[in-house]
Structure 1
Amino acid sequence: MQIYLPIAEVSVNVFLLFGLGGLVGVLSGMFGVGGGFLITPLLFFMGIPPAVAVATGANQIVASSVSGVLAHLKRKTVDLRMGTVLLGGGLVGAALGVYVFNLLKQVGQVDLLVRLCYVVFLGIIGSLMFVESLRALRRSKKGGPPKRRHHGWVHGLPLKMRFRTSGLYISAIPPVMVGLSVGVLSAIMGVGGGFIMVPAMIYLLGMPTKVVVGTSLFQIIFVTAFTTMLHAVTNYTVDILLALVLLIGGVIGAQFGTAFGTRLKAEQLRILLASLVLLVCGKLALDLFLTPADLYELGVQ
């Protein structure tokens, strides 16, 4: 059944959109990512304009993340203090990212920027996660003792805070910078930033994997909601009908994803996430080099 999206100005299959929202919801619950790294490119492939896909995709991420974080709160696997620090940086980054997005939209380069950002960031993060996850999986199969965490430069910074749920006593500066970076990416790429935040929280901040997922989702909720609001009032690119269909599927899928995630080992979760990131990156990179079906398009100046 086809429905017409007024802001995107295209007709799409409603059941396909619902299934896409459900898939992203499953990923949100399993990996602690908003799923924007997957839903936004897939909306590109369905013919949704990149500006609309970015703004509306961020809106859907809010719903699936809320559904996922509620399940994690019941399990007490959310570090609220760490999430609040990450959120502070994320809100500032989101405002900065929307400003850059608007500047590039005025000069007509926003579509290319969004696609290039996806290829670069997904390629780097996916490759690093995949290699590290394979090593961790091999270590777990050998049955050797896990590597002890070494104190690095992060632990020598000032403004230290104690994060009891994560069992950490570190500077607040790295979490703020991580949140700032994720906020910028959320505004420009329409992602929750979990595909960057989750590895950063594990390998940079040293947080336990079981706490990372819920804490990531907590921060994603507020940053993506703020990003959606800014896009709506400055760009008018949030398609409510598109967001509603994706939202319903995402809320349902997140509950199933949370249940699946508890049955898999941390190493298995990370290698699955890395594989998905690389798959999407490969598809986007291929589309940049292939000749498009329509060489020209009309635009209103």
Structure 2
Amino acid sequence: MQIYLPIAEVSVSAALLLGLGTLVGLLSGLFGVGGGFLITPLLFFIGIPPTVAVATGANQVVASSVSGVLAQFKRKAVDVPMGVVLLIGGLIGSGMGIWVFNLLTRLGQIDLAVQLAYVVFLGSIGLLMLQESLRAMRREKRGGKRAKRHQHLWVHKLPLKVKFRASGLYISVIPPMLVGIVVGVLAAIMGVGGGFIMVPAMIYLLGMPTKVVIGTSLFQILFVSAFTTMMHAITNQSVDVMLALLLIVGGVIGAQIGSRLGARLKAEQLRILLALLVILVAGKLGLDLLLRPSELFSLFPGAFE
């Protein structure tokens, strides 16, 4: 059944959208990621304009983060003070990102900018994840010990130190604030939660224990994504509610299936599969930018004669 999306101004199969939502939900349950960095490129592939894909992708991240945050609060695995510092930075970054997004939209360069951002970030993150996963598998085969994840670096010499009891840290608020700003900018421009950057930064840069990283990250992502969605809706009216609804319904179904499948695979195997998937999506976006499009047109008649 074809359904018309009024904001995206395209007709798409409802079954296809439910299928995409289910696929991303499955990956979320399988790999423990929000899925925002995958749903937005997939929407590009089926003809959804990047401006709508980014804004609606952020909307889905909000929905997928709610249940995760509530579950983490029940486990007492959320460092609320750290989450608030990250959130302040995230809101600042989101505001900056929305301004850049609207500027690029006015210049007519937003489609290219969003796709380039995905190629660069997804390609880099995918390669780093693959390298780390293969290294971890080699260590496991050799029976070697895991490398120490965190050392006392220049981060701990900065001023404005605060004690974060749940994380067992006494550090400056400047690094987590900067991490939040970067994630906020990415959320606004790419329609992602930013967990694929925030989680490694919280572990390796800030030195937070793994038990509170996921919950604290989701706490920040939930509010920053909600703010980003609201700002996109207000400033450029690019949130398609019907599109978001179909993706969310599919995502809920897929997440349940993915969480059950994930229990049957080792962590290293899951990371390698996710890394390969991320690299594949980045490669497809890169090819779309390089290859000659099927339809050529110009706004200026005779420009290419």
* 1:237 partnered with 2:238: yes
Matches within 5 A, 1:86-105: 86-105=86-105
Q: Which moved more, 1:42-51 or 1:153-162?
A: 153-162
What is the SS of the residue equivalent to 1:206?
coil
Tell me, yes or no, if the aligned pair for 1:126 and 1:278 is still in contact at 8 Å: yes
In structure 2, distance between residues paired with 1:270 and 1:151 = 27
How far off its partner does 1:257 sit? 4.3
What is the SS of the residue equivalent to 1:76?
coil
Q: Which moved more, 1:158-167 or 1:42-51?
A: 158-167
1:126 is matched by which residue type in structure 2?
G
Name the structure 2 match of 1:63: 63
Name the structure 1 match of 2:204: 203
In structure 1, distance between residues paired with 2:98 and 2:12 = 27
* 1:178 partnered with 2:212: no
How far off its partner does 1:210 sit? 4.0
Q: Kindly provide the CA deviation profile for residues 96-148 of structure 1, in whole angstroms up to 9, marking residues without a partner as x.
A: 10011111111111100000111111112221222122222322333222223
Q: Which moved more, 1:33-42 or 1:252-261?
A: 252-261
Q: Which moved more, 1:28-37 or 1:173-182?
A: 28-37
Tell me, yes or no, if the aligned pair for 1:4 and 1:12 is still in contact at 8 Å: yes
How far off its partner does 1:270 sit? 3.6
In structure 1, distance between residues paired with 2:85 and 2:266 = 28
What is the SS of the residue equivalent to 2:163?
strand
1:151 to 1:172, Cα distance in 2 relative to 1, 3 A: same
Larger Rg: 1 or 2?
Answer: 2
Q: Kindly provide the CA deviation profile for residues 211-241 of structure 1, in whole angstroms up to 9, marking residues without a partner as x.
A: 3223222211111110110010110111110
How far off its partner does 1:258 sit? 4.8
Tell me, yes or no, if the aligned pair for 1:98 and 1:187 is still in contact at 8 Å: yes
Matches within 5 A, 1:1-301: 1-148=1-148, 149-258=150-259, 266-296=267-297
1:156 to 1:85, Cα distance in 2 relative to 1, 3 A: same
Tell me, yes or no, if the aligned pair for 1:79 and 1:211 is still in contact at 8 Å: yes
Q: What is the number of residues matched between the two proteins?
A: 299
1:82 to 1:267, Cα distance in 2 relative to 1, 3 A: farther
Tell me, yes or no, if the aligned pair for 1:32 and 1:194 is still in contact at 8 Å: no
In structure 2, distance between residues paired with 1:239 and 1:29 = 25
Q: TM-score, normalised to structure 1's length?
A: 0.90
Tell me, yes or no, if the aligned pair for 1:62 and 1:224 is still in contact at 8 Å: yes
In structure 1, distance between residues paired with 2:113 and 2:12 = 25
In structure 1, distance between residues paired with 2:250 and 2:296 = 34
Structure 2: segments with no counterpart, 5+ residues: 301-305
Q: Which moved more, 1:138-147 or 1:195-204?
A: 138-147
Tell me, yes or no, if the aligned pair for 1:201 and 1:207 is still in contact at 8 Å: yes
Structure 1: segments with no counterpart, 5+ residues: none
How far off its partner does 1:31 sit? 4.4
1:168 to 1:140, Cα distance in 2 relative to 1, 3 A: farther
1:85 to 1:32, Cα distance in 2 relative to 1, 3 A: farther
In structure 1, distance between residues paired with 2:262 and 2:67 = 14
1:85 to 1:257, Cα distance in 2 relative to 1, 3 A: farther
What is the SS of the residue equivalent to 2:99?
helix
How far off its partner does 1:65 sit? 1.3
Q: Kindly provide the CA deviation profile for residues 146-198 of structure 1, in whole angstroms up to 9, marking residues without a partner as x.
A: 22332122222222233333333322211111110010011111111112112
Q: Which moved more, 1:228-237 or 1:273-282?
A: 273-282
In structure 1, distance between residues paired with 2:121 and 2:292 = 23
In structure 1, distance between residues paired with 2:274 and 2:171 = 27
In structure 2, distance between residues paired with 1:245 and 1:2 = 13
Q: Which moved more, 1:118-127 or 1:101-110?
A: 118-127
1:171 is matched by which residue type in structure 2?
S
In structure 1, distance between residues paired with 2:260 and 2:68 = 10
What is the SS of the residue equivalent to 2:279?
helix
In structure 1, distance between residues paired with 2:87 and 2:243 = 27
How far off its partner does 1:60 sit? 1.0
2:252 is matched by which residue type in structure 1?
V
In structure 2, distance between residues paired with 1:160 and 1:139 = 36
1:222 is matched by which residue type in structure 2?
F
1:111 is matched by which residue type in structure 2?
D
In structure 1, distance between residues paired with 2:127 and 2:169 = 27
1:93 is matched by which residue type in structure 2?
G
2:223 is matched by which residue type in structure 1?
F
